[in-house]
Structure formats: structure tokens, C-alpha cells
């Protein structure tokens, strides 16, 4: 499910301490999130409706099925405190456990019970929304996450996931608005910076894309996706910034990103200049 550098202790409604909405989950997501530009054909084979973003240099940007395993939940606030039935807390714990097993059907069922028992439970809405999105139900996920931000506007986890959903739908203005909110509310979140950089670049603002992606790798030097995407956007320059692209591309490969033949052809010392 989804990521950020926000404080996500998940102690409020529903008792989410170890599930998709926690700080530990966010960190795991940042380590495990898949690439954003490229791997498109492979992802289409895996997920059909959800497409990947590794572009082979300048392919269309769509959604990756990776990187949504454990989104950060909004941080609990004292003003949100209210009686939460024990059964809802138990259902949340069951959902967390199922999610960690990658049993998304069971996780969906458990998180749905949380929301049915406590309809305004923001953690439950966000976690259920991410499970639905991971399962390919983007419209259902969008509705749940929009409901979450209507309850609490300051909700970087929901904004981040909404932004990614809008990118999948190629609604780039909506994606830009949602991801801008995610970064505004959680400026030290490398994943939010990464996705914002990608959508800015998709709109043709190459300098802005590079700026956000540089910030992403500053925040998390081990974030392979951001290095990879930064390399791609350095190659989008006219003329391409080949040396900078080479540095970040091979750093991404060292960190576990898959190689891309088209990019490697461009980065060869004897490759013709574009």
C-alpha cells in the first residue's frame, strides 16, 4: 500500500500500531517500493489494470503496483479521541496481520469491519483505501480516501495515495494538487517528493521535476526509484545531462533497480548524442 516521512504512530481509532498506517510500515515501503518510470510491460502482465512507471526513457507515466504496501496513516490527534469498541480494535489488528501476510482479501474484510463500526475512523478509511487500491479497485479506493480527507484535511497519507491514483488515471492536474498537499503537509517524505517530481515532469516542467527528485534522494540516499527517475529526467534535458544521468542511473542499479537496455544504450560512452 502507500509512504511518507510523517509521524505515524497509529494509536488512535482502531488501534493501528503495526499495520499499513505505521511509521515502521512507511519505512519498509520506502525500502521496497517499486520503480516509477519503466517496467511497463512486465507490470501490465502482472496487474492488468495497474500499470508501472519505469519509462524506457520517455514512456507515458502510469501507476506502479509497487510502493503501496504500507502507507503512512495520519498521525492521531487528541481531538480525534473517542470511544472505539474493542471489537473495532481487534478487527484493525486482524487487518494488520492479514496485510503483513499479503492476504489482501482478509485485510479488506477486517478493515471494512472497522469502518462499519466506526464510520469516521480515519485510520480505517486510509488503510481500507490502500488495500482496495493495491487490489486494483481504484475507484473504491478514491472514494474512501476522499472521505478520509473530508474528515481530516491534514492527512498526508491519503493525499499521497490519491495523487498516485490520479496519476494512474492520467488526471495530472488532480495528481499535482493532491501530491502538493502531501508534500506541504509532510515535506520530509521522500516518496511524496518522488511522485511529485514525476508528475511535474509529466507536465513538462523538467527543472521542477529534477528539483523534487534531488530532494527525494537527499532525504533518502538509498531510494532507488528516485535515483532512477532523476536519471530519466536528466536525459530529458536538451541536450541530455548524460554524466548526471549516468551517476544516478547506476546508483539506482546498485540499490536494486532493474536495468533498462534503452537507457544503457544512451549512457554508453560511444552512444550518439541526442
User: 55: which 3 cell numbers?
Assistant: 519509462
d(CA 88, CA 68): 23
3-class DSSP assignment, residue 21: coil
- pLDDT at position 264 is 92
Percentage with pLDDT > 70 across the chain: 68
Domain at 1-33+68-170: CATH code: 1.25.40.10
The predicted model gives 228-245 an average pLDDT of: 94
In the block, cell 495497474 appears at: 50
One-letter-per-residue 3-state SS of 148-167: HHHHCCCCHHHHHHHHHHHH
pLDDT mean over 236-264? 94
**Mean pLDDT of the region 7-18:** 37
Q: Which residues pair with 38 in a beta bridge?
A: 54
**Tens of pLDDT, residues 68-77:** 334 334 444 4
Please provide residue 152's backbone torsions phi and psi, each rounded to the nearest 5 degrees: -140, 110
pLDDT at position 270 is: 59
Rounded to whole angstroms, how far apart are CA atoms 219 and 67? 17
The end-to-end CA distance of the chain, in Å, is 38
Structure confidence by residue, pLDDT tens digits, 78-126: 444 345 578 888 888 888 888 888 898 999 999 999 999 889 888 889 9
The pLDDT value given to residue 102: 85
Residues 234-242: contacts with CB under 8 Å, at least 24 apart: 234/210, 235/57, 235/263, 235/266, 236/58, 236/201, 236/206, 236/209, 237/206, 239/273, 239/274, 240/266, 240/273, 240/274, 242/266, 242/267
Backbone phi, psi, residue 39, to 5°: 55, 30
Range from 65-69, 121-125, 261-265 carrying the lowest mean pLDDT = 65-69
Contact 260, 38 (CB under 8 A): yes
pLDDT of 93: 85
Q: Where in the chain are the domains?
A: 1-33+68-170
pLDDT at 16 over 60: no
CA distance to 7, 260, 261, 264, per residue, from 269 (Å): 44, 16, 14, 10
pTM of the entire predicted model: 0.70
Output the pLDDT for position 21.
54
Measured over the CA atoms of residue 43, residue 44, residue 50 and residue 54, the dihedral's sign is positive
- Which grid cell sits at 149? 480527507
Q: How many CB atoms lie within 10 A of CB 49?
A: 12
If you ran DSSP here, which 8-state letter would residue 273 be given?
P
Write out pLDDT tens, residues 38-60: 433 333 332 322 223 222 222 22
pLDDT at 4: 37
Mean pLDDT of 22-34: 45
> Contact 162/178 with Cβ under 8 angstroms?
yes
Rg (CA), the chain: 19
Residue 12 has pLDDT above 90, yes or no: no
Helix (H) or strand (E) segment spanning residue 98: helix 86-100
Amino acid at each position: 500500500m502507500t509512504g511518507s516521512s510523517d509521524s505515524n504512530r497509529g494509536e488512535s481509532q482502531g488501534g493501528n500500531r503495526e499495520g499499513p498506517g505505521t511509521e515502521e510500515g512507511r519505512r519498509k515501503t520506502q525500502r521496497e517500493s517499486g520503480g516509477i518510470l519503466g517496467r511497463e510491460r512486465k507490470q501490465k502482465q502482472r496487474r492488468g489494470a495497474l500499470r508501472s512507471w519505469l519509462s524506457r526513457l520517455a514512456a507515458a507515466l502510469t501507476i506502479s503496483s509497487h510502493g503501496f504496501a504500507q502507507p503512512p496513516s495520519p498521525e492521531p490527534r487528541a481531538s480525534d479521541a473517542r470511544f472505539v469498541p474493542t471489537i473495532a480494535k481487534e478487527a484493525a489488528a486482524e487487518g494488520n496481520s492479514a496485510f503483513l501476510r499479503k492476504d489482501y482479501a482478509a485485510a479488506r474484510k477486517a478493515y471494512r469491519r472497522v469502518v462499519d463500526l466506526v464510520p469516521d475512523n480515519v485510520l480505517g478509511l486510509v488503510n481500507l483505501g490502500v488495500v482496495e487500491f493495491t487490489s486494483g479497485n481504484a475507484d473504491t479506493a478514491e472514494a474512501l480516501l476522499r472521505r478520509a480527507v473530508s474528515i481530516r484535511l491534514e492527512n498526508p497519507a491519503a493525499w499521497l495515495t490519491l495523487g498516485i491514483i490520479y496519476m494512474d488515471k492520467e488526471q495530472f492536474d488532480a495528481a499535482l494538487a493532491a501530491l502538493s498537499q502531501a508534500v506541504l503537509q509532510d515535506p520530509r517524505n521522500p516518496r511524496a517528493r518522488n511522485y511529485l517530481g514525476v508528475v511535474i515532469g509529466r507536465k513538462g516542467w523538467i527543472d521542477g521535476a529534477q528539483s523534487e527528485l534531488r530532494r527525494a534522494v537527499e532525504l533518502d540516499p538509498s531510494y532507488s526509484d528516485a535515483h532512477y527517475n532523476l536519471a530519466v529526467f536528466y536525459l530529458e534535458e536538451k541536450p541530455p545531462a548524460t554524466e548526471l544521468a549516468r551517476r544516478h542511473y547506476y546508483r539506482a542499479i546498485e540499490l536494486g533497480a532493474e536495468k533498462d537496455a534503452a537507457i544503457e544504450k544512451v549512457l554508453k560512452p560511444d552512444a550518439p548524442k541526442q
